[in-house]
Amino acid sequence: MEFTSQLLYPLDQVLLAVMIFSIMFGMGSSLTVDDFKTVARYPRGILIGFLSQFGLMPFFAYGLAVFFSLDPAYAISLILIGCLPGGTTSNMFAYFARGSVALSIAMTTASSVMALLMMPFLLEFYTTGFVDEISAELQASGAGIEFVIPTGNIIASLVLVLVPVLLGMFLRHKSPAWAKTAEDTAGFMGIIVIIYLIGTAVIRHTGLFLQTPTEIYVSAICVGLLGFLFGYWMSRLFKLSPIFQRAISLETGIQNGPIAFAIILLSFSEPYQSQMLWLAILYSTFIVISSSFVTLYYRKVGKFDYEVFQNTTIHNRLFGEEYVSKYPEGYLPDRIKNDPSQGSNPGQIRKAAEKAKPV
Amino acid sequence: MENRILAKNLADLYCKAAERYSALPAFATRKSELDWDPVSFGELYDRGLNLATGLIELGVGARDHVGLFGDNRFEWILADYGVQLCGAADVPRGRDVTDAELIYIINHAEIKIAFLETTVLLGRVLKLKKELPKLKEIVLLDSDFKAGDQYRTIDEIEHIGKNLREKGDRRAEDRIEGIRPGDLFTLIYTSGTTGKPKGVMLTHENMMSQIRGITVELSCTDRVLSILPVWHIFERVFEIFTISCGVCTYYSNVRHLANDLKNVEPTFMGSAPRLWESLYLKIRKNVKQAHPMRQILFHTAYFLSRQYRSSAYFLTGKKLYLEPPSTVKRILLTPFHALRWLLVLPIYGFFNVAVLEPVRMSAGGSLKATISGGGALPVEIDRFFNYIGIPVLEGYGMTETSPVIAVRLEENIIIGTVGPTLQDTEVRITDIETGEIIYPNPALPHQGRGVKGEIRVKGPQVMKGYYRDPEQTKSTIQNGWLRTGDLGMITFNDCIKILGRSKSTIVLLSGENLEPEPIEMRLTQSPFIEHCMVVGQDQKHIGALIVPNIEGFRDDGFKVDSLQELAKDSEAKSIIHDEIKRMISVENGYKRFELIHDFRLIGECFSNGEELTGLLKMKRHVITDKYEKLIDEIYHHETSEES
C-alpha cells in the first residue's frame, strides 16, 4: 500500500508536535527525583522489566514483521515501537489493575534513560534486513541513494523529547499541585489529538482504513498483546509477586507512543514517514483499548488477592509490625496460603514461621 | 460467596463468629493515629462469657433488663456481649441522656444493674440515687478507674466471672441455650409525643431477620469505620451485621475522621446524612480552591459522568419512575441513550481515572460503597456521590422496625428512592385521612403505584411492642401492620420513595429525633406568639414558622394596624428572637439540637379548616406545603452563610 498524499497536513504535524511536547511535559510533571531512587529499591523487578521491555518487545515486533512479511517501512515502524521505553499511561493502568504503581513508575524512569543507549543499538540490530530491502528498492528505481537508519537523528530526537520531561520535573519540584494539573491536562490532550488524527484520517483518507492490509492491523494490535502476555509470564516465571506481575505486564505492552511520533517526524522522510506514522497511530489507538480490557481483567482477577494483601497491610500499619492476621481455615486459597509472594504480607508469613519454630 | 453467619439468636451468633473468625480482629480502638488496639472475635467472646458469668453471679436473671449508658468504645460491645450471653436484654442510651430520662428509663424498664460509661455519668446517677429505688448495682465501663464503694468496674465483674468459669461454672452456656426467639435482646427508649420516652422492644428474631434480609456482601477482608452512636439502632444492626461477616469495626469519631479514613482505608461505612453532607461540602470546597484548570477538569469529569450514568440508568431501567414508564418513549429514547453512552464512555473513562479517582481517594480510596440511614439524604448529595463513583446505598427504617424496612443496594441504585423492601417484608400505602389501602389496591390503576400516602409495614423486623404501654402499641401496630408515620409512595419500579412525615416527629440530618409539640407549646406560652410550627425534617437544625400575636404586641405598646405589617416589622422580629432565646435554651433543659436556629414570621393567621383541624391541631403537611418557600429560605439562608 502506498500513500498517494501525505498522511499529515502541516497543521496536523504542528498539533502532533504540541501533543508530544505536552505529553512529555506531563510525564515529567509526574516524576520526582525520588522516583529515580525508587529504581534502586526494586532491582529484581527493574531487571525483569528491562529484559521484557528491551528484550522481548523488540523481538516480538521483529517476529511479527517477518511473519507477516510487512512492507519495510511498516516493519521498521513496528520495530521502532517495540524498542520504545514505557510511558506514564502505564502507571495509571497499573494503578487500576491493582499492580505496583511504584514499580511501574520506576520502570518508566529507568527505561526512559536506558532508551538513549538501547534504542539505537536495537534498531540497528533488528532493522538491517528491512533497510537493505528499501535500499535495494531505491536502487532498482534508479534513485541512486541508500536508505539508512538515521541513528544520530534518533538520539537527537530522544534527547529532544527529554527536554519537556525535565521541564515538567522542574514544575513538579516548584509546584506539585500545578504539576498534577499539567499531567491530567496532557493526558486529556493526548486523547483528543489521537481522536482528532483518526477523525481527520477517516475524513481525508476514507479509503485508508479499507486499504490497510489486515496484517498491519493484526501487527499493531498484537505487538501490545504479546507484550502484556509475556511480560506477565516472564515475571511469573521469576516468581515476582502478583502486584509486580501485573505492573510489569502492563509496562511491557504499553510503550511511549509520543516518542515514536517524534522520532518518525524528525528522522524519516517521505514516502516512508506517512507509512510509519500510520502504524504508530494505529498502535496508539489499539493499545488504549486493549490495555483497558487487560486492566479490567487484572482488576477482577487480582481482586481477592489484593483485598487480602491490603487488609493485612493495614493490620500491620495499625496493630504493629508484629501483628499476624490469621484468616479462618479454608478462607485463603492455597495459592496465597502457601506462597508468601501471592498477596498476603510476606513479612507476616515470615514472622508466623519464626514464631512457629521451637525456641 | 455467602459469608454471613446465620444464627438462632444474638448469643448464638456471637458464639459462631468466635468459632469461625476466632483470631481475626473484631473491633479496634484508636490509641493514636497509627496505633490501634485490636480485639479478636475469640477473645471478645471469651471475655463476654466471663462477664456474663460475673453478671449472673451479681444476680442478673434471664430476660432481665440491664442498663447500658454510654457511647462508642470497646467496653460497650463487651458489656453487650456479657448481657446477651447471660440471656438478658440491654437498655442502651448515649452519654447525652438527660437526668429526667435516666430516672424515667431506669424505673420504667426496672433496671437493677446499669453500666455507665464515664465518671461524669456515674456522678449524675449517684446524685439521683434516691429516685432510683430499683437500681442495685452500678458498673463503670471506663477501666482507667478503680472500683469504689458505690460502684464496681467492668474489669472486676469480668474477673469474678473468670474465676468462676475456671472452676467449671457453665451457667452462661445454659442461659444461651434458654434464649427463645421472642426474647428481647434490647429495649430502646425513644422520645415519645407525650414527652415520655417509649421503650421499643426488639427481639432476637427481629435482629436475626435483619441479618438474613440485608444482602450487602462483606467479608473478612473488609474494614468498617464507625462514627455513629452505637446505641442508635442503625449503627447497632450495622455492627451485628459486621460481626456476622467477620469484618473488623474500627471506632473513629468526627474529630479524627479525615485521618482515620486515610489510615484505616475503610471498604464500607454507615453514616447519617450529616456526614455525607459535610464530606460533600469539603469536596466542593477543595474543588473551588483548586487551580482554575483543575476546576475545569473536575466539572468536565462530573458533567461526563452525569451524561454517562444517566444514560446507563436509563438503559438498565434504574431511572426514578413516578409515572408509568411509556413504552413508546422508551423505544424512541433508547437509541439516543445507547449512542450517548457509547460516545461518552472513552472520554468518561479517562476522566474517571485521572480526575475522579483522586477525589475518591480523599474519602479513603477503598470505599466500595457507603450506606446512609437515620434520616433522608438530600437528593443532590445522593447524586453527587453516585456520579463521582462512590455508590451511596440508602436505607429506610425506624427503631420500631429494628430498623431496616427497605434498602437500596448497588445493583438497584435508583436515586431518589430508598430501594425495594427487604425479603419477607410487606409494605402498604394508606390514605392519611381515611386509612384506606392505596397500595396494593387492584381497584386503582397500577395497583396504586405513584400515589402518596402513609407507609405501613408488616414483617419479621417489626417490634414486639412498646414496653409496658399496650395503648401506644395498639395504636401503632394494627393486625401486625406498623404505622411508620412516614409519607411515601411506591414507584413504578417497585421502590419506596419517602415524601415526608405524617407524624409530627422531626428527624434531623444528624439522626436525632425530636418532638416539636413540647417546644411549640412552650413558645405559644409567650404573649407575642399566636401560633408556631417547628420545622427541620432532614435539616441540620430546627427552625420555626411563627404567627405573631397582634394583641400581645399592642398590649406592649406597639402601634400596628395589621398582622401583615407586624410580620414585616424588624423590631417585632427581634422581640420574638429574644423570646425564643429566653424560652428555649440549654439552661431550661432543652437539648442542643432542640434549639431554634432561625425563624420566619407569617403575616396571616392559621385558620380553622385550612391549616388547623377541627380540634385546632396544626395540619403539618398543609402548612409545610403552603409555606414551603419560607422554610426553604430558613435553610438556604443558612447554607449560604456557611459557604
ipTM score of complex: 0.78
- Helix (H/G/I), strand (E/B), else coil: B192: coil
Please report whether residue A80 resides in a domain. yes
B465 φψ region: left (φ > 0), alpha (ψ -120 to 50), beta (else)? left
The mean pLDDT value for B403-424 works out to 88
Confidence of residue B394 (pLDDT cuts 50, 70, 90): confident
Burial track B397-434 (b if 16+ CB lie within 10 A, e otherwise): bbbbbbbbbbbbbeebbbbbbbbbbbeebebbbbeeee
DSSP per-residue codes, A212-279? S-HHHHHHHHHHHHHHHHHHHHHHHHTT--HHHHHHHHHHHH---HHHHHHHHHHH--TTHHHHHHHH
**Domain count along chain A:** 2
pLDDT for res A349: 52
Do both A231 and A286 map to the same domain? yes
Do both A42 and A172 map to the same domain? yes
Contact indicator for B57, B156 with CB cutoff of 8 Å? no
Contact indicator for A109, A117 with CB cutoff of 8 Å? no
Contact indicator for A252, A58 with CB cutoff of 8 Å? no
Contact B36 A318 (CB under 8 A): yes
pLDDT of A261 strictly over 90: no
Q: With contacts defined as CB-CB under 8 Å, which chain A residues touch B225?
A: none
Contact indicator for B85, B10 with CB cutoff of 8 Å? no
Do both A293 and A312 map to the same domain? no
Confidence of residue B286 (pLDDT cuts 50, 70, 90): confident
Rg (CA), chain A: 22
* The domain boundary residue, chosen from A265, A281, A301: A301
- Tell me, what amino acid is at B88? A
Contact B220 A92 (CB under 8 A): no
Minimal CA separation from B289 to chain A, in Å: 11
State yes or no: cis peptide before B440, omega within 30 of 0.
Answer: yes
Do both A163 and A100 map to the same domain? yes
pLDDT of B192 strictly over 60: no
Please report whether residue A73 resides in a domain. yes
Residue in the structure block whose three cell numbers are 452500678: B138
Q: Up-side HSE of residue B355: CA atoms within 13 Å toward CB?
A: 30
Grid cell locating B625 = 406545603
DSSP letter (8 states) at residue B377: P
Do both A324 and A293 map to the same domain? no
Do both A331 and A276 map to the same domain? no
Do both A250 and A341 map to the same domain? no
Q: Report CA B636 to chain centroid distance, whole Å.
A: 24
pLDDT of B141 strictly over 90: yes
- What is the maximum alpha-carbon separation in chain A? 85
Contact B25 A331 (CB under 8 A): no
DSSP letter (8 states) at residue A54: I
- Where residue A169 sits, what CATH number does that domain have? 1.20.1530.20
* The domain boundary residue, chosen from A271, A286, A301: A301
Interface residue of A250, A318, A325, A326 to substitute, partner B, most B CBs within 10 Å: A318
Please report whether residue A134 resides in a domain. yes
Minimal CA separation from A221 to chain B, in Å: 18
Please report whether residue A226 resides in a domain. yes
Minimal CA separation from A140 to chain B, in Å: 47
Q: Which residue range(s) make up the domain with A316?
A: 305-356
Closest Cα to residue A34, out of A163, A166, A173, A162?
A173
> Model confidence over A313-351: pLDDT tens digits?
889 889 988 888 888 888 887 766 655 444 444 455 555
pLDDT of B610 strictly over 80: no
pLDDT for res B127: 94
Structural domains in chain B, CATH included, are 10-179+214-271 (3.40.50.12780), 276-460+467-501 (2.30.38.10), 515-642 (3.30.300.30)
Grid cell locating B332 = 424512541
The fraction of chain B above a pLDDT of 90, given in percent, is: 45
Comparing A171-175, A197-201, A225-229, B47-51, the range with the smallest average pLDDT is: A197-201
> Model confidence over A120-149: pLDDT tens digits?
899 889 988 888 888 888 877 766 667 777
Do both A282 and A325 map to the same domain? no
Nearest Cα residue in chain B from A98: B366
Q: With contacts defined as CB-CB under 8 Å, which chain A residues touch B364?
A: none
- Tell me, what amino acid is at B139? V
Confidence of residue B194 (pLDDT cuts 50, 70, 90): very low
Please report whether residue A1 resides in a domain. no
Please report whether residue A17 resides in a domain. yes
Grid cell locating A103 = 514499580
Secondary structure element (H or E) that encloses residue B501, with its range: strand B496-501
Do both A242 and A320 map to the same domain? no
Do both A342 and A241 map to the same domain? no
Please report whether residue A337 resides in a domain. yes
When the pLDDT of each residue in chain B is averaged and rounded to a whole number, the result is 88
pLDDT for res B514: 81
* The domain boundary residue, chosen from A301, A322, A342: A301
Task: Indicate whether this model's pTM tops 0.90.
Answer: no
Do both A28 and A140 map to the same domain? yes
Q: How many beta carbons lie within 10 A of that of residue B587, not counting itself?
A: 6
**Which residues of A fall below an 8 Å CB-CB distance to B?**
92, 95-96, 177-178, 180-181, 183-185, 187-188, 191, 288, 292, 304, 307-308, 310-311, 314-315, 317-320, 323, 325-328, 331
Do both A114 and A170 map to the same domain? yes
Please report whether residue A2 resides in a domain. no
Q: Give CA–CA dist B169/B166, Å, rounded.
A: 7
Burial track B624-634 (b if 16+ CB lie within 10 A, e otherwise): bebbeeebeeb
